[in-house]
Structure formats: C-alpha cells, structure tokens
Amino acid sequence: MELTPFLDKIICADCKEILPDIPSESIDLVVTDPPYVMSKEEWDVEAVDESLVKELHRILKPTGNIYIWCGIGEKSQSLIRWFPLFSKLFHFKDLITWKKNRGIGMRKGWLYTREECMWFVKDNHQFVWNISEQYSTEKRPWNVYKKGGAMVNKSEFKRLTNVWTDINEVGFGTCPKKYHQERWKFNHFTPKPVEAIERIIKLHTKEGDVVLDCFLGSGTTAVTAKTLNRHYIGIEKNPEYCKIAQQRIE
C-alpha cells in the first residue's frame, strides 16, 4: 500500500471503507469531529466503534497524536462513550475544554457553553510536541518573566492551558443574521474554528507532515493543513459537505 494516492485529497466515502487501505504508521496527526449523536438528524448517527479506533491506531505513526472532538451533557454523552474505546489502544494525555460564547440548552438547566476535545498519543515516550508553539499571545507580568534583569521563564508569553477561552465560534461577534450566514455558508451544524485546528496542527506537526480528518465535514481541517503547508487527507461521506470542502480548498 502507498500513501501517495490519498495525499491532499478529499475522499467522499465512509471512512471505514477507506481507512483499511491507508498504509500502517503513515499518519502524523488525526484531528476529527465525529457526529455526537445528539439529534434525530439522518447524519447524526453513532460512527465511532472499536473497529474504527483499531484502524486509527494502525495508521498513526508511533510519534503521532490524535484529537477527537466530543461532548458531555444531557443531549450527548459521546465523551464517556468514546473514552473507553480510545483508551484501550492509545495513551490518554488530556481533555481540552473549549469555552464557547453562545449557549444552548433547555430553559430548566444550565446554559451549555462548552465543547470537549480528547487528546491521545500512540506512544507516550515519543509523541511530537513542538515546544515553541505551546505559548499563547498573552504576555506574562514583567516581574514574573524576569527577575533582577535575568530571564526566569523560557518565554515572555503565558503557556496555553487545557481550557480554551480565546477562540470564538464561527461567526461570533456579528449580528444574528450575519452569524447564521457565516455558519450556514458551510451548510454544517457544528463548524470548528480554523484557529482551534491551527493550534493543534502547529503543536504536533511540521511542514510536510500528514494530517488526517476522517469526519471532515465542511473541510476546516483540510483547509487549515493546506494553509500551514501540511499534507491532508479528508474523508467525508456526505456528498454536499464534500462539495463545500472541495470549494474551500480550491
């Protein structure tokens, strides 16, 4: 098997039919956003199972990382359903909480303003982590960064944390009409911000590496990887999403 036929392609198919053809230990990073099973929509079905996790483990390099967007709440418990499946084969590193500005929820209950992303590695002793990319744009107080004129921290900027409060949803900050226009131009229920995907890709890959998204949706992972001079493989079974993703790439 060769990886070349898959590189920089958006493949319109069920990922469970495509992944077995991808060579073992050929992918540097997996970033994906499976359906959370929180609605009655036709597309929102359980897609993560043991066979999928085994294939992702097989194709990921020993130095590779994998991020899976998920949810935890009354409408979706994908986090607690998927965690045991991935933790059987991968080493769990952390859970990212993305603090969103717009909330959803019923009148009787807490307003839901969070989304989760699980981070696993294949080998805890050799996974890629680019130290130079682990800092935010927020500067440390001068007296914390330096003491008596000498540097006491490696960077003048604060470290990124596992709670992301600095990334807005697609279209946030616009008027309601504009928000819906920006969100629905991708014809997707839950488009992830480029800034979030960019952060993950920069932390775990270098130029020329291969990023896989097997639930590509409207194409954000592929678009971001291409912008950062990484190779991408995008798999999506919804023909409409594939069309939108291809248009964004072009």
pLDDT score at 101: 84
What is the pLDDT of the chain when averaged over all its residues? 87
Instruction: Give first-to-last CA distance, the chain, whole Å.
Output: 28
**Share of the chain residues as helix, strand and coil, in percent rounded to the nearest 5:** 30, 30, 40
Residue 149: pLDDT band with limits 50, 70, 90: low
Decide the pairing of beta strands 60-70 and 112-121: antiparallel
Least confident of 152-156, 160-164, 214-218, 235-239: 152-156
Domain boundaries, the chain: 4-128+167-249, 134-160
Report the top-level CATH class of 4-128+167-249: alpha beta
Contact 115, 100 (CB under 8 A): yes
For the chain, the farthest-separated pair of C-alpha atoms sits apart, in whole angstroms, at 63
Separation CA 47–CA 8 (nearest Å): 24
Mean pLDDT within 21-48: 82
- Per residue in 85-95, pLDDT (tens digit) is 999 999 999 99
- Per residue in 52-94, pLDDT (tens digit) is 999 999 999 999 999 999 988 887 889 999 999 999 999 999 9
Which residues on neighbouring strands pair with residue 151, listed in sequence order?
A: 146
Contact 90, 120 (CB under 8 A): yes
Mean pLDDT within 114-126: 97
pLDDT score at 102: 75
pLDDT score at 205: 98
pLDDT score at 242: 96
Least confident of 23-32, 40-49, 134-143: 40-49
Instruction: Please name the residue that has the structure tokens 């994908």.
Output: 78
- Per residue in 167-200, pLDDT (tens digit) is 998 754 444 444 344 444 555 556 799 999 999 9
Higher per-residue pLDDT: 108 or 37: 108
Separation CA 214–CA 233 (nearest Å): 8
Residue 151: pLDDT band with limits 50, 70, 90: low
Phi, psi of 81, rounded to the nearest 5 degrees? -80, -40
Higher per-residue pLDDT: 81 or 101: 81
Mean pLDDT within 131-145: 83
pLDDT score at 144: 64
pLDDT score at 25: 98
Higher per-residue pLDDT: 97 or 142: 97
Instruction: Please name the residue that has the structure tokens 């604060």.
Output: 158
The residue type found at 91 is H
